[in-house]
Amino acid sequence: MDLSIVIVNFNTKKLLQKCLESVFASQTNCQFEVLVSDNGSVDGSVEMVKAEFPKVKLLENKANLGFAKGNNAALKQASGRYILLLNSDTEVRPDTFDLSIKYMDSHSNVGALSPKILLPNGELDQAARRKFPNPWNSFLRLFGFKQYSDYNATSPIDEEVEIDSGVGAYLMVRKSVIDQVGLLDEQFFMYGEDLDWCWRIKEAGYKVMYYPKPVVIHYKYGSAQAIAFRTIKSAHQAMKIFYRKHYANQYPWLFNQLVYLGINLRMYLVLVLNLFRSKKRVH
């Protein structure tokens, strides 16, 4: 098996249907399997998969396990040389898988690959090529100075470049690397687990690369919109977990408390702003 495609679903029936249609329409020579880990959906997602995509290995979780746990449940059953985390709110092009695998086969020092991920309006999803969040670039983003932050890469979107992290919407990882660094950290309910995984992959000596030839469309916040306020809380909780895990031991106690306070204040600000937004946002 060349590729195991792992999709976590939570009440995104129509998006999941389009995603799976694009997956099975791929013009690929690779042997792949598709595992859908459903987190207790009540919108008919499970019934749709059973009826329309019988080749899918369906895991019916009894509750919403979150993104990390939902993925891990499927990862434990995956048998491919490469593992692909794929969001249910994405669509792949016919050559996306072949281009990704060909690149990984040719670059043994690359542990994870992030493709060109486009939003429906044609703009790049900036999360596809990120630096790790740190106190400084997070501070700049928090107070509206994104243009001075180095969190997102600024190189041309068609330029191949080494990055700190891709995003779990489409993240291809070597199975041998996962065996070395472990599964996703289940402390993260939603958000942050991809950053943490890439941190551990780089820590193990592998590169994480942004490779723009394979293209993915990301409709973004498919599941998040259904639980907007809980999702906002989860996103900010993920910031705390990531900081505590990778940065807190580098700074004094008082500085750490100020960081946690800033994250909390930002969460409440986003919650208040969302009361007046027609389209909810997580950040």
Q: What are the angstrom distances between the C-alpha of 41 and each of 7, 9, 13, 185, 226? A: 13, 7, 9, 23, 11
Residue type, 78: A
Percentage of the chain modeled with pLDDT above 90: 76
Please, which pLDDT band fits residue 152 given cuts at 50, 70 and 90?
Answer: confident
142 pLDDT more than 90: no
**259 vs 81, which has greater pLDDT?**
81
* 3-state secondary structure (DSSP) of residue 274: helix
The second-level CATH assignment, the architecture, of 3-223 is Alpha-Beta Complex (3.90)
Q: Is the pTM of this model over 0.85?
A: yes
H-helix or E-strand containing 214?
A: strand 207-218
Structure tokens at 214: 């394979």
Rounded CA separation 115/129 (Å): 9
CA pair distance 13, 60, nearest whole angstrom: 14
The angle subtended at Cα 169 by Cα 163 and Cα 171, nearest 5°, is: 50
CB 239 within 8 A of CB 192: yes
**Whether the predicted pLDDT of 30 surpasses 90:** yes
Residue 204 clears pLDDT 80, i.e. is over it: yes
- What residues contact residue 106 under an 8 Å CB cut-off, 6+ apart? none
Q: What is the pLDDT, as a whole number, of residue 148?
A: 63
When the pLDDT of each residue in the chain is averaged and rounded to a whole number, the result is 92
CA distance 126 to 167: 9
Rg (CA), the chain: 18
Question: 209-239, pLDDT tens digit by residue?
Answer: 999 999 999 998 665 555 567 788 888 899 9
User: What three-state secondary structure class fits 217?
Assistant: strand
- Report the pLDDT value the prediction gives residue 229, as an integer from 0 to 100: 77
What is the Cα–Cα distance from 97 to 127, expressed in whole angstroms?
Answer: 20
pLDDT band with cut points at 50, 70 and 90 for residue 271: confident
Asked if residue 237 lies in contact with residue 189, where contact means CB atoms within 8 angstroms, the answer is yes
Question: Could you report the per-residue pLDDT of 273-283, keeping only the tens digit for each?
Answer: 877 766 666 66
Looking at residues 139-156, what average pLDDT do you find?
A: 72
